[in-house]
Amino acid sequence: MRMSRYFLPVLKETPREAQIVSHRLMLQAGLIKQASAGIYSWLPMGYKVLRRIEQIVHEEQARAGHLAMLMPTMQSADLWRESGRYDAYGDEMLRVKDRGGRDMLFTPTAEELVTDVFRANVNSYKDLPLTLYQIQWKFRDEVRPRFGVMRGREFLMKDGYNFDLTKEDALHAYNRHLVTYLRTYERMGLQAIPMRADSGPIGGDDTHEFLVLAETGESEVFYDSQITDLTFGDREIDFDDRAACQAVMDEFTSRYARTDETHDAALFAEVPEERRRTARGIEVGQIFYFGTKYSEALGATVQTRDGDSVPVHMGSHGIGVSRLLGAIIEASHDDKGIIWPEGVTPFHVGILNMRVGDAGCDSVCDDLYAQFQTAGLDPLYDDRDERAGAKFGTMDMIGLPWRITVGPRGVKNGVVELTCRRTGEAEEMSVSDAVARIK
Ligand code: ATP
Ligand code: MG
Ligand code: MG
Ligand code: MG
């Protein structure tokens, strides 16, 4: 993309409404624009990052055999009356009437709807196990929408639902989700720690939240510092192998790690004092096992091998896709701006032409641009006739991992400057070496 043809409305002034750095940078770097309280338009570069995050989520779900689908945002209240949640959900649910006077609502989550899809189509144990998921907009009328996309009212969530014959099968699905989530967050450059949590209005016994440690997080967390040494990394795992998935679950949940909702001071005291940590965290996901709560209420049953009819065991699993942009920026920025991890960056490399109109500079930039495109990478070329200071400022703020600076002096000597956004290290090299380094 050429900057001269792009839509990147970078703000000159610091937006006053932003209380935390990710919100400020998302507004300043032209990623989002507030439409109304807790509701945002996603501008081209913000949308690009959102799509890359979605893509990682899809790839990791597919790896575990989970199936993507899409359910509507507007739902009839009837199903929610059947499950008993229409009244129980409270003021976070946005309720509307259609022209016929029927009660409708904007989906805050989709256990009811997916269970209805299931009960209409699945009758036999032979069709299990089944995990369906979607990435869809949700609406929750939060009391205090704030911190930009971190606590929006309209937000993008990945929500997945497993249907299994037995509790044991459903707990395997639970473990499988833990593994997919660990992989998903790591690919985004995040450490998200699974912590024992409280199930809230979703209901159920087993639940873990995934928290990214950050001072601006809304949850208070307590953990054994050893847990921060764990990474899933690039291990191979067979998602059908129950023991292997259980081993990952055990490894990642055996040390003390809880949110304030489930914190147990006596248990925490058993952690050696030098390893006890109290901090703040951002909830970027949660997994639940809730058994037959919805399948019983909605009559989602299957025939067993013996011909008995039994309610299916279920769980649900969420990732805050739009919140992740905020969480990533909270975890990865400096005083100049965002530092995108490679996995989610909107463009792989920025090309900065220091003298637009100079035949040598222009041709080196065009050459770089073409080479990156041929290599399947996405370059952003700052071809605007602007002051160098402004161009550097924008490039640093939008946080692409690499910058290549092309100036007349270097061009004469056959070199360009390659700068790493994270370390600030700069090195002069030939065009072909710069391309090779980034590929
Ligand atoms: P919170 O405790 O932050 O209100 P939640 O526990 O109500 O979140 P879940 O029902 O577990 O949310 O939804 C799954 C994920 O969706 C959360 O882990 C979070 O990452 C994301 N999410 C929830 N509410 C919001 C929101 N208002 N804005 C952005 N993301 C959200
Ligand atoms: Mg909530
Ligand atoms: Mg929560
Ligand atoms: Mg939650």
Nearest to 187 by CA among 380, 53, 327: 53
Which ligand gives the minimal distance to the CA of 323?
1
DSSP 361-395: HHHHHHHHHHHHHHTT--EEEE-----HHHHHHHH
284 lines ligand 1 (CB under 6 A): yes
* Distance (Å, whole) CA 227 – CA 255: 6
Determine the residue of 260, 283, 290 to mutate for testing ligand 1's pocket, defined as the one with the most ligand atoms within 8 A of the Cβ atom: 283
pLDDT in tens, the chain (439 residues): 999 999 999 998 899 999 999 999 999 999 999 999 999 999 999 999 999 999 999 999 999 999 999 999 999 999 999 999 999 999 999 999 999 999 999 999 999 999 999 999 999 999 999 999 999 999 999 999 999 999 999 999 999 999 999 999 999 999 999 999 999 999 999 999 999 987 766 555 689 999 999 999 999 999 999 999 999 999 999 999 999 999 999 999 999 999 999 999 999 999 999 999 999 999 999 999 999 999 999 999 999 999 999 999 999 999 999 999 999 999 999 999 999 999 999 999 999 999 999 999 999 999 999 999 999 999 999 999 999 999 999 999 999 999 999 999 999 999 999 999 999 999 999 999 999 999 8
Look at residue 367 in the predicted model and tell me its pLDDT: 97
The verdict on the CB of residue 141 being under 6 Å from ligand 1 is no
In eight-state DSSP terms, residue 151 is B
| Whole-number pLDDT of residue 197 | 87
374 contacts: CB under 8 Å, gap ≥ 6: none
The whole-angstrom separation of Cα 92 and Cα 374 is 48
CA 283 – ligand 4 centroid, Å: 7
158 lines ligand 1 (CB under 6 A): no
Q: Cα–Cα distance between 316 and 362 in angstroms, integer? A: 53
* Under 8 Å between Cβ of 178 and 287: yes
CA distance 192 to 189: 10
Q: Whose CA is nearest to atom 31 of ligand 1?
A: 320
- Strand, coil or helix: 146: strand
Decide: residue 152, CB within 10 A, 0-12 exposed, 13-18 middle, 19+ buried: buried
Per-residue model confidence (pLDDT) at position 203: 55
What per-residue confidence (pLDDT) applies to 201?
Answer: 61
Q: How far apart are CA 56 and CA 344, in angstroms?
A: 9
- One DSSP character per residue, 202-247 reads G--SEEEEEEEE-TT-SEEEEEEGGGGG---TT----TT-HHHHHH
**Pocket of ligand 1, candidates 50, 157, 177: which has the most ligand atoms within 8 Å of its Cβ, to mutate?**
157
For the packed helices 44-63 and 167-187, what is the interaxial angle rounded to 10 degrees? 140
Rounded to the nearest whole angstrom, what is the distance from the C-alpha of residue 283 to the centroid of ligand 3? 7
DSSP 336-358: TEE---TTT-SSSEEEEESSTT-
How far apart CA 313 and CA 115 sit, in angstroms, is 11
Q: Distance from the CA of 284 to the center of ligand 1, in angstroms?
A: 7
ipTM of the complex, rounded to two decimals: 0.99
Please indicate, yes or no, whether the overall pTM of this predicted structure exceeds 0.95: yes
- Establish whether residue 159 lines the binding site of ligand 1, counting it when its CB lies within 6 angstroms of any ligand atom: no
Supply 280's token pair.
């703040």
Please tell me the predicted confidence (pLDDT) of residue 32. Answer: 98
143 CA distance to ligand 2 middle (Å) = 10
Q: Exposed, middle or buried, 8 (CB in 10 Å: 0-12/13-18/19+)?
A: middle
Ligand 1 atom nearest to 151, measured from its CA: 28
CA nearest ligand 1 atom 19, residue: 320
What secondary structure letter does DSSP report for 176? H
Q: How far is the CA of 346 from the centre of ligand 1 (A)?
A: 24
Which residue's CA is the nearest one to ligand 1's atom 25?
151
Residue 217: CB within 6 Å of ligand 1? Answer: no
State the distance from the centre of ligand 2 to the C-alpha of 307, rounded, in angstroms: 41
Q: Which of 177, 220, 212 minimizes the C-alpha distance to 60?
A: 177
Alpha carbon 248 to its chain centroid, in Å, reads 21
HSE, CB side, 13 Å, CA atoms: give it for residue 414: 3
Let me know: does 32 contact 26? Beta carbons within 8 Å.
yes
Please give the distance, rounded to the nearest whole angstrom, from the Cα atom of residue 231 to the centre of ligand 4: 22
User: What is the reported pLDDT for 202?
Assistant: 56
- Is residue 96 classed as helix, strand or coil in its secondary structure? strand
CB 142 less than 6 A from any atom of ligand 1: yes
Ligand 1 touching residue 283 (CB < 6 A): yes
Query: What is the CA(350)–ligand 2 centre distance, in A?
Result: 38
